[in-house]
Amino acid sequence: MQVSMTVNGQQRTDEVEPRTLLAHHLRDNLGLTATNIGCDSTSCGACTVIVDGLTVKSCTVLALQAEGSEVTTLEGLSTDGELHPVQAAFRSEHGLQCGFCTSGMVMAAVGVLADNPNPTDREVREGLEGNLCRCTGYHNIVQAVLKAAESGPAAGQVPSSKQEVSA
Amino acid sequence: MSILGTRVVRTEDPLFLTRGAVYTDDLTDERLAGALHATFVRSTVAHGTVTEVDASAAREAPGVVAVYTAADLGDLQPVPPPLPFLDAGFARPWLVPVGGRVHFVGDLLAVVLTEERYQGEDAAEAVVVDIDPLPAVIGTAASATDETVLFPEVGTNKVAAFGEPAPEDFFADCEVVVTRAIANQRVAAAPLETRAASAAWGEDGRVTIWCTNQGAQQAQGQIAGWLGLDPALVHLVTPDVGGGFGAKIGADQEYAFVAWLAKQAERPVRWTESRSENMTGMLQGRAQDQVITIGGDRDGTVKAYSLVVQQDCGAYPRIGTVLPTLTMLMAAAVYDIPKVHAQATCYATNGTSIGAYRGAGRPEATAAAERAMDLFAAEIGMDPADVRRKNFIAPFTQPFTTASGATYDSGDYAAALDRVLEAAGYADLRAEQARRRERGDVRQLGIGVSAYVEITGADSGHGTSENAELEVHPDGTATVLTGTSPHGQGHATTWAMLASEQLGIPVEKITVLHGDTDRIPDGGGTMGSRSLQQGGAAVHQAAVELVEVARKRAAELLEANPDDLEVDLVNAGLSVKGTPGVGMTWAQLAADEQLIVQTTFTANAPTFPFGAHVAVVETDVESGKAVVTRLITVDDAGTIINPLLAEGQRHGGIAQGVGQALLEEILYDEDGNPQTSTFADYPFVSATELPSFELVEMATPTPMNPLGAKGIGEAGTIGSTPAVQSAVVDSVAHLGVRHVDMPATSMRVWRAIREAQKGSTN
Amino acid sequence: MIPAPFEYVRVSTVDEAVAALAEHGEDAKILAGGHSLLPIMKLRLAVPSVLIDISGVQELSYVRVDGDGVAIGAGTRHFELESSEVAQAEVPLLPHVASRVGDPQVRHKGTLGGTVAHCDPASDLPTALLALGATVVVQGPAGRRSIPITEFFLGFFETAMEEGELVVELRVPRTGAGGWGYEKFTRRENDWPIVAAAAVHLPDGSVGVALANMGGVVLKASAVEAALAEGKTIEEAAELAAEGTSPSSDMHADAEYRSHLARLLTKRALKVAAGETGASTAESTAA
């Protein structure tokens, strides 16, 4: 079946199976391999992307369910080579080690900040309860999100079509 | 100003954060174009005799190019057991044949090659498998009886034994003796990236294998050996790796299988396992049943300590079999106990094979010693911190050999404990605890104290040495080749810092490469916290040597005396003393002739980082649920080259310790069916179970390498696991509880309270 | 990891959904948020041959006051319910429980109708709906019908829906300022509950109490409700929480511990609902 969506600002129409997961569509069909698959029980969140302003786990969304949607992946977060505040904060605070959870973690963090621009430590942790990391112990991830929050509302937005990420 | 010791953000990150790292499943190398996808068919029975593996329907499934069962393996030779002393009968077949036995849920029965990824699972389902179940052996106690012998050719489930029983009168001179059976439970390594491998054969008869691993050179050697290939024909490349924690040390047979399949199919083959496969197929950690006995006098002096270990090796014995020798070596821990006894016996079971997992044998030693200290303290009514202080090895800067036979390099355990207690506000915590106990609050405070020492840089197959190559290019950039194998530790940044320190070339202009056996034929990989103290030291040494090579060359070119040349970090070169405008940059010196050094650094011996942790928990005594509210740590790993990265290693280690102490356990039912094979069932610690950590600084350099650095990667786990377990027990000690096994789940705590209140000995 | 193959149909009205269900028969399943269905399809525990995607059916997404009740469209997603001002004012138990389901990403997709139709004995919202004495409105070839929630959950993943029906609306009473409490006991914050207890003061003066994961379906703590109606204290009533339940023993907890938790959590939920404890529900047992 055909599916059309806008991914990181680019219109795409592709042929997929009904059962093609959005995560595989992004990775295998569109070559956007930053989004990773870390589990098969919708637990780890490594596959988190933003669809129509909402963070979702792309391993539990059919590509067909994103028909007509605006999808943003990690690759679409920076503008003209300039890092998104969340990306910049993850770097400055050492919020990643092996990097496998990072794509989903960054996207989920953007979602947390969209919902709550000035979260507490606890609120950040609860906002990221759907994202697992084995390397960092989460300490610096939380620091990174708090740091990103300092840069204002841009931390909770995605650039591809200047859409606001809603709660 | 020295760059060492400063918080340099990682050079890896810009790519990781924008395009994403390139893991094995992400590869788009042209050599993999048109690759087939491999999907394994695995046993869903833990122990049984295979009566049928029928691939006929699967061969007709859409997109299937081939299906292999044990009958189709042609020239593939059996793989001998991985350790030389293991009975040959413990060998793992490539695929279990009809008439053979499966030994764990996840054992390999067949493999399917399909054109597309999604077709693989469909086809694998179509393979008809029939297995006659046999009684499953779960846990060491059941295995030790030999009631069900798992490998009839071997005749016993006992795989290995180390040490002797303690003499009868070992505790004869002790006023107080406490003994307890405790568990250091089986856990999953659970890196976020599962195992994956891809292979492509070239026209030149060589195979290129990409796989996620912790040391390309070791993996290359193993795969070549298993396939009967000249290692020169195997080009192994390590892409970015999404975590390893010990479970990706060396190759797994699946990786070699992928290479073999590519040869048969005459097309490249790719394989990525699912998480469920990973939770049964990947090596797991710990799995020791221990009996600890501690004896001493009422004044707190410990006189004798015994640790008896039963190690669960899992289905096919692998590296887990020898980890208890490290446990035994470190049994004395940080204590100056006159008599220390350790003994271990290893058993095969119907669980997943056991391998290395963050700490690999040493957390088990520390957890046992710390539990023993706490039990002793409770028995004599002494504060656990005081008991420890009374028995610490006194501060030392010269090598100290313990009663377990380990020779530590440097340590000041009392200072570590004092620092962490002060940072934690120990006295205030005890006061608060007392207040809550007085009031009978529902939420009680628990304070757990641990002290630890661990061995890093031990010989894990590459001695205590590592290689480095350093070249400066005519354009002023530099390239480092290292034999280590980072998977999150940030070696690219730290090794660049070490080179930059000597040469003045900015970190951003230094590229660090690893993991390609064609470029780096010899290397020890990254495990056992060896990398900085051996690999980093090698980079440092290479840089120092390169300066000398450059100095001689510059002296000739400038017709100057080499002693008159000094390093000019600002200009990244050498300049004539007293005449700053006159000199040559490294780039210039590389213009006509390669400016390159290859070196090997050999450390004298392993090193022994140490520390002390305080964990604070709040336990709801009505439900038994404990929550970690604070985690304060001292982790002394000698000189810190990049504090930002060192803290990250501590954080990650601490979190895994909390996970084991409170939440995680791999469980089987009585038939050997895994109960925790997804991330929904396996309680992998998430951000909401952890506080932010309070790290205290302490750095006692080691004389074992010029950097003064010890390993830090595993220390956090070794310290935090017992601290958290101890805190949970402490939180309900006033109710009569002396021990709760890990994971200290709410149910276990609740039950322990009930039993203590009923008056039964706990 | 990958679902077995299936056909996919997208509909934009409820009538189209009903027609599609009729056309494709019993091997067709409704796909709304997909966060109950797709996970079990990926593990191949469910293998429907047709998925009918109703996520685009706008008419199923609403939260509104309707007489003495609140009507919630089955397509309303958990995050929408969580932030609905109408729900917060009229039936605050529900948006709170919606905020406790899974994690933010799951809440962006999961729907109220979906979780009700899925009928997992360990799910949060069905427990709250049961305590509220909700009504489930379904629609099928024979038209719409209302099913009291006490008659809706029949067994393990089995509801009272007939073939060809789908959930279209949930109706709950307007509890307004009436007290409520939700005690969810987990190992990690975003896990399914080991046990959960919901308690709510209803407009008719009674107290509704329901339990998650104490049997093959979410259960009403009828003995507790009856005791409260008789004038027993919270402590006395909560002691009966495990009556009529059949908790399982699994890797998280055994039956004895679950029964203990049922009593403990019921007591705590009732106390919060009665305003007897200052702590909010989220604090008492969560990390």
Does the pLDDT of residue C283 top 50, yes or no? no
Mean pLDDT (whole number) for B5-28: 97
CB A101, CB A37: distance < 8 Å: no
State the burial class of residue C145 (Cβ atoms within 10 Å of its Cβ: 0-12, 13-18, 19+).
middle
Residues of chain B neighbouring C1 (CB-CB closer than 8 A): 121, 274-276
Nearest of B453, B686, C28, C37 to residue A62 by alpha carbon: C37
Model ipTM over 0.95 = yes
C287, B745: Cβ pair inside 8 Å? no
Whole-model pTM: value is 0.97
Does the pLDDT of residue C279 top 90, yes or no? no
- What's the whole-number average pLDDT of chain B? 97
Distance CA C65, CA C87 (A): 9
Does the pLDDT of residue B105 top 80, yes or no? yes
> Can you list the positions of beta strands (E) in C112-189?
135-140, 143-148, 153-155, 158-159, 166-173, 180-185
Nearest of B1, B68, B5 to residue B643 by alpha carbon: B5
Among the ranges given (B445-449, B493-497, C254-258, C276-280), the one the predictor scored with the smallest mean pLDDT:
C276-280
User: Which of A22, A94, A96, A133 is the best residue to mutate to test the B interface, defined by the most B CB atoms within 10 Å of its own CB?
Assistant: A94
Place C16 in a pLDDT band, splitting at 50, 70 and 90.
very high
Distance CA B179, CA B369 (A): 12
Does the pLDDT of residue C282 top 70, yes or no? no
Point out the residue among C1, C44, C285 whose CB comes nearest to the CB of B620. Answer: C285
Give the minimum alpha-carbon distance from C207 to chain A in angstroms, rounded to a whole number: 30
Angle CA C83–C88–C91, to nearest 5: 130
Place B581 in a pLDDT band, splitting at 50, 70 and 90.
confident
* Nearest 10 degrees: Cα torsion B523, B527, B532, B537: -30
pLDDT in tens, C48-100: 999 999 999 999 999 999 999 999 999 999 999 999 999 999 999 999 999 99
For residue C93, give the 3-state DSSP assignment: helix
Percent of all residues in chain A with a pLDDT value above 70, rounded to a whole number? 95
Q: Is A55 on the interface with B (CB under 8 A)?
A: no
Give the minimum alpha-carbon distance from B424 to chain C in angstroms, rounded to a whole number: 21
For position C286, what pLDDT does the model report?
38
User: Which of A43, A96, A98 is the best residue to mutate to test the B interface, defined by the most B CB atoms within 10 Å of its own CB?
Assistant: A98
Residues of chain A neighbouring B714 (CB-CB closer than 8 A): none
Distance CA B476, CA B114 (A): 48
Please, where are the H alpha helices in chain C?
14-24, 37-42, 78-83, 85-90, 93-99, 104-109, 112-118, 124-132, 222-229, 234-238, 255-273, 281-285
B688, C287: Cβ pair inside 8 Å? yes
For position B468, what pLDDT does the model report?
98
- The amino acid occupying position A75 is E
C104, A127: Cβ pair inside 8 Å? yes
Q: Is C282 on the interface with A (CB under 8 A)?
A: no
CB B170, CB B306: distance < 8 Å: yes
Point out the residue among A28, A87, A140 whose CB comes nearest to the CB of B648. Answer: A140
C53, A64: Cβ pair inside 8 Å? yes
Residues of chain A neighbouring B647 (CB-CB closer than 8 A): 94, 140
Mean pLDDT (whole number) for B242-259: 97
Place B578 in a pLDDT band, splitting at 50, 70 and 90.
confident
Q: Is B663 on the interface with C (CB under 8 A)?
A: yes
Does the pLDDT of residue B613 top 60, yes or no? yes
Residues of chain B neighbouring C5 (CB-CB closer than 8 A): 122
Residues of chain B neighbouring C254 (CB-CB closer than 8 A): 747
C257, B121: Cβ pair inside 8 Å? no
Does the pLDDT of residue A107 top 70, yes or no? yes
pLDDT in tens, B53-95: 999 999 999 999 999 999 999 989 889 999 999 999 999 999 9
Angle CA B495–B497–B499, to nearest 5: 70
Does the pLDDT of residue A166 top 80, yes or no? no
List chains adjacent to chain B, taking adjacency as at least 3 C-beta pairs closer than 8 Å: A, C
- Alpha-carbon separation of residue C76 from A85, A135, C54, C84, C111 (angstroms): 32, 36, 11, 10, 5
Give the minimum alpha-carbon distance from B687 to chain C in angstroms, rounded to a whole number: 9
Among the ranges given (A100-109, B373-382, B701-710), the one the predictor scored with the smallest mean pLDDT:
B701-710
For position A25, what pLDDT does the model report?
98
Percent of all residues in chain B with a pLDDT value above 90, rounded to a whole number? 97
Give the minimum alpha-carbon distance from C69 to chain B in angstroms, rounded to a whole number: 36
A99, B644: Cβ pair inside 8 Å? no
Pairing of strands C28-31, C50-53: parallel
For position C281, what pLDDT does the model report?
43
pLDDT in tens, B170-207: 999 999 999 999 999 999 999 999 999 999 999 999 99
Cα(first)–Cα(last) distance of chain C, in Å? 31
A1, C8: Cβ pair inside 8 Å? yes
For position B469, what pLDDT does the model report?
98
Eight-class DSSP state of C92? T
User: Which of C35, C47, C103 is the best residue to mutate to test the A interface, defined by the most A CB atoms within 10 Å of its own CB?
Assistant: C103
Location of structure tokens 């204002």: A152
A41, B275: Cβ pair inside 8 Å? yes
Place C285 in a pLDDT band, splitting at 50, 70 and 90.
very low
Nearest of B398, B465, B404, B461 to residue B603 by alpha carbon: B465
Eight-class DSSP state of B526? S
Paired tokens of B171: 């505790």
More confident residue, B580 or B33: B33
Residue of A nearest to C37 (CA): A60
* Cis before C92 (ω within 30): no
Residues of chain C neighbouring A59 (CB-CB closer than 8 A): 42
Mean pLDDT (whole number) for A66-83: 94
For residue A40, give the 3-state DSSP assignment: coil
Distance CA A122, CA A140 (A): 14
Does the pLDDT of residue C135 top 70, yes or no? yes
Residues of chain C neighbouring A101 (CB-CB closer than 8 A): none
Paired tokens of B342: 């350790």
Does the pLDDT of residue B282 top 90, yes or no? yes
Eight-class DSSP state of A14? E
Mean pLDDT (whole number) for B267-292: 98
| CB hemisphere CA count around A78 (13 angstroms) | 16
Residues of chain A neighbouring B242 (CB-CB closer than 8 A): 36, 38, 98-100
Q: Is C11 on the interface with A (CB under 8 A)?
A: no
Residues of chain C neighbouring B688 (CB-CB closer than 8 A): 188-190, 287
User: 214-253 in C: which are within 8 Å (CB) of A?
Assistant: none
State the burial class of residue C163 (Cβ atoms within 10 Å of its Cβ: 0-12, 13-18, 19+).
exposed
Strand order in the sheet with B465-472: B510-513, B478-482, B465-472, B595-602
List chains adjacent to chain A, taking adjacency as at least 3 C-beta pairs closer than 8 Å: B, C
Nearest of B469, B493, B473 to residue B482 by alpha carbon: B469
CB B100, CB B49: distance < 8 Å: yes
Distance CA A48, CA C193 (A): 23
Nearest of B450, B367, B378, B404 to residue B178 by alpha carbon: B378
Location of structure tokens 């104290």: B449
User: 461-500 in B: which are within 8 Å (CB) of A?
Assistant: 487-490
User: 261-280 in B: which are within 8 Å (CB) of C?
Assistant: 274-276
